[in-house]
Structure formats: structure tokens, C-alpha cells
Amino acid sequence: MVEDVDQERLAKEILWMIRVRWVIVTFPYLIFLRIGQAEPIQLGFFYGLIPWIEYLLNTIYYFLVKQKKWLLFVAYFQMVVDLAAITIGVHLAGGLASWFGVLIYPVIIVTAAIILSTKASFLMATLSSLFYSGLVGLEYFEVIPRIPFFGLEVSLYENPPYVIVSLVVRIVFFYWIALISGHLADGIKKGREELRKTCDELRETQNQLIQSEKLAVIGQMAAGIAHELRNPLNVINSAAYYLKSKIGRRDPELNLSLEHIEREIARADKVIVGLLGFSRPVDSIGSIEINTLLDDTLLLLGKEFSLSNIEVVKEYAQNLPEVVGDRGQLQEVFLNIVLNAYQAMPKGGILRIKSRESKGEKEGFIEIVFEDTGQGIPQNDLPRLFEPFFTTRAEGTGLGLAVSYQIIKRHNGEILAESTLGKGSSFIVRLPMKIPLMSR
């Protein structure tokens, strides 16, 4: 029987059972020893060994659980051993005349429901019924001695109807406990799972809000800084061009320096354009056919793909609903992602682009997936991938994906990244079909 069980949680709960077992085994044993001194009851060599066997097994359980070995087997095995020990305890407590078993067997049944499953609980109820029925049968036919406990009579076995009814009532009680505990445990597990899911969603929402606020603040600052920098850069660029045209040809060394200035100005201008992208609103709103937009984007890099031995595989779903948004900005997002894939495959590879309607929780969205067979991204870098100025390339500005993130958020969509180092990366963009856009 294979259970879908959280291994960490299972290990903690098995350790809890082990600690409780130390107490449960020790105190009854001391009581029996005390009774054995006061009453004409002899535990015998076999019964005297039982606590020590439990101690030994408990120690083995402990080391196995600490090493995270065979957790599911240990959980089932110790419950079965506990049922056997309980059955011996019921025998010593007076067998059919004692209600000890009625009180203790359900503990194992309920424990199975809590730490394993409803099926495990019913399995323990079945084993409890078999152990208890076997004990009653052995005592009834006097295969084992009938032991009175605290003066309880053993003459109950002389009344067969009572024996049968008592046995049936206890078995029904075991299964009733399994049913109730299983139902309650399922409710607890469902609530725990929903709570975990809610916490994960809240954590993700919080991270998105922090990221959005961070980008918004950076956008406001960047817009002001970019405008202030662009004017002096234009002046420097014009001066460099003038010097190059007048004296650069006569002085090769000066000409190289002026070309270097122009390159750095172009690089700075690229950063400024990226910074301005943070604060750019969604203004040219219209209906967009995603497959057509993807094809138009790929046309811009068709020559580069051919020269770099990159194969583009299109897996478009047909008759997709249109989305509403800024065509130019969405094309910028797709171009950024495709360029990243191109740069991640310097020796060639496959870029697979898929479009489809999202299902399940994301129903109502168009999903675009970009999968490459490139170098991949280290797992430690994935959480920072959409942060401004974070880049994994020496020549990158770290603004492309950050701007793309802002654009998709302004379209009420989401963008995700998945990657396996050495195998490639996947970028998933989801855009709503028809909902109002945020104006920022």
C-alpha cells in the first residue's frame, strides 16, 4: 500500500509515537510487576520479555526515522506490533471480561488515520478485529489460560451468545472508530493543505506586490534621471561626431578614442531607453491576435536564427481568442524573451514557441511558452531574474526582463521563468483575454 505522505511530517509524527510508547510500555509493566507481587498472577518469562522487546524495537524505530529510512514501513510495522502488544495486554487484563482492548485498540486506529490515511485506519481496524477475535477464540477454547484480573470472572466464556455478541459489538465499534477518525483526519488534512496553499499564494502575492512596488519606485526615479541624462549625452555625442569629422581622420589614435566614446554613449542611451520603459503607460490599446504577433516578432530575428543554426518550432493553437493590449509593448516583451533564448544558444539549438488557452485556475488567459535548449539559468538566479539591473551576461544591462515584467503586469498578466542548468529555460507569459487594463 503506497501512501502519498509528507515525509518530513511523517518522521516527526513517528518520533512522537516513539516517545509516547516509552511511557506507555514502562508504566503498565511496572504496574503488572507490582500486581504480580500482591496477587497470585505470574507474568512468566515470555510476558516479562515483552516490554524489553518493545524497548528494542522502539530504539530501532528511532534510528531508522532519524536517518529517514523506510518511514512508511516503520509506521505500519510499529502499529502492527503495537496491536500485538495490546492484544497481549488485553489477555493479561482479563480477555473478554476486560474493556481494556475497547479503549486501547482505537488509539492505534485513530493514529493511523491521522498520520497515514483513512485506508490505513480501516486496515488497523481490520487487524484489531482479527487480533481480538483470535484472542477470544484462543481463550474460549482454552488454548491459552484465562487470566482473571482484579477479581473479574472468567465464567463469561460459559455463555456463548454473550461471547458472540460482545465480539461483534467490539468489531463494529472498531470500524466505526475507523470511519469517524478517517473522516475527521481527511478534513484536517484537507484544511492543512488548503492552509498551506493559501500561505503559498499569500507569499507569492506579497512577493509580487513587493516586486511591483520596487519597480514602480525605480520607474519614477529612472524616468527623471533618464530625462536629465539624455540631454548632456546628446551634447557629448554631437561633440564627438564633430571632432571625428574634423580631426579624427588625421589622428588615428584620436579617432579610436572618439569611436569608443560613441559606443559608450550608445550603450548609455540603451540603458536610458530601458529606464524609460519602467514608466511607460499602456496607451496604444487594441485587439491583438497572439499568433500573428509572435510571427511578426520572429521575422525580426529570422536571419540571425539561420546564421546561428537555431531551429524555431511553432506549436500554435488555432482560433485563439484575441487579447487586448499595447501591441508594441507586448512585441517588446516577446522580442526580449526570444533574444535571451538566442543568446543562450551560441552553438545552435531549438526554440519552441507554444500558444494555447490556459486551463484550470488560469482559465481565461492566453498562455505563450518559450522553450529553448540553451545553457540554462542557475536556480539561485531565478528569483532575481526580473529585478532591474540583474543580468547573467557581462554585456547585458539587466533591464530587458525587468521592463518585460512591468509591461506584462500592466496588462494584468503574469510572466514566469523555469530553467534547468545545462538543459535550457522556459518563459511562460499569460495574458487575459478581455479585461480592463491598469493605467499606470
Condensed to tens digits (0 to 9), the pLDDT of residues 137-165 reads 998 888 888 777 555 555 677 788 888 99
pLDDT tens-digit map of 123-137: 999 999 999 999 999
Residues 6+ apart with CB under 8 A from 405: 211, 215, 386, 415
Confidence of residue 251 (pLDDT cuts 50, 70, 90): confident
pLDDT of amino acid 337: 94
Confidence of residue 395 (pLDDT cuts 50, 70, 90): low
Q: Is residue 261 part of a domain?
A: no
What proportion of the chain, given as a percentage, has pLDDT over 70? 79
pLDDT of amino acid 48: 60
Q: Is residue 24 part of a domain?
A: yes
Supply the pTM of this predicted model: 0.50
Q: Do 183 and 295 share a domain, yes or no? A: no
Please provide the DSSP assignment of 257-303 as one string: HHHHHHHHHHHHHHHHHHHHHHT----SEEEE-HHHHHHHHHHTTHH
Alpha-carbon gap, residue 35 to 42, rounded angstroms: 9
Q: Is residue 215 part of a domain?
A: no
Domain boundaries, position 146: 7-202
Q: Is residue 420 part of a domain?
A: yes
Nine-digit cell string for 14: 513517528
Alpha-carbon gap, residue 334 to 125, rounded angstroms: 59
Q: Is residue 221 part of a domain?
A: no
Q: Is residue 106 part of a domain?
A: yes
- Domain tally for the chain? 2
pLDDT of amino acid 40: 42
Q: Do 286 and 195 share a domain, yes or no? A: no
Contact (Cβ atoms closer than 8 angstroms) between residue 283 and residue 411: no
Alpha-carbon gap, residue 337 to 312, rounded angstroms: 14
Q: Do 186 and 315 share a domain, yes or no? A: no
Domain boundary among 202, 231, 256: 202
Evaluate if residue 91 carries a pLDDT over 70.
yes
Q: Do 19 and 118 share a domain, yes or no? A: yes
Q: Do 146 and 292 share a domain, yes or no? A: no
pLDDT tens-digit map of 256-298: 777 778 877 877 776 676 666 655 666 678 889 999 999 998 9
Q: Which stretch, 157-166, 305-314, 431-440, has highest mean pLDDT?
A: 305-314
pLDDT of amino acid 440: 43
Which of 282, 326, 278 has the alpha carbon at shortest distance from 439? Answer: 282
Alpha-carbon gap, residue 260 to 257, rounded angstroms: 5
Q: Do 192 and 289 share a domain, yes or no? A: no
Domain boundary among 202, 219, 235: 202
Q: Do 335 and 430 share a domain, yes or no? A: yes
Q: Do 11 and 150 share a domain, yes or no? A: yes
Domain boundary among 202, 221, 253: 202
Q: Is residue 101 part of a domain?
A: yes
Contact (Cβ atoms closer than 8 angstroms) between residue 425 and residue 418: yes
Q: Do 193 and 64 share a domain, yes or no? A: yes
Q: Is residue 217 part of a domain?
A: no
Helix extents (H) in 39-148:
44-66, 71-92, 100-115, 118-140
Quick one: CA dihedral 234, 235, 241, 244, positive or negative? negative
> Count of CB atoms within 10 A of residue 161's CB?
7
Alpha-carbon gap, residue 59 to 51, rounded angstroms: 12
Which of 417, 265, 264, 434 has the alpha carbon at shortest distance from 333? Answer: 417
Alpha-carbon gap, residue 102 to 169, rounded angstroms: 10
Alpha-carbon gap, residue 221 to 215, rounded angstroms: 10
Q: Considering only 81-85, 185-189, 264-268, 286-290, which range has the smallest mean pLDDT? A: 264-268
Q: Do 24 and 141 share a domain, yes or no? A: yes
Q: CA distances (Å), 154 to each of 148, 157, 158, 226, in order?
A: 6, 6, 8, 96
Q: Do 334 and 190 share a domain, yes or no? A: no
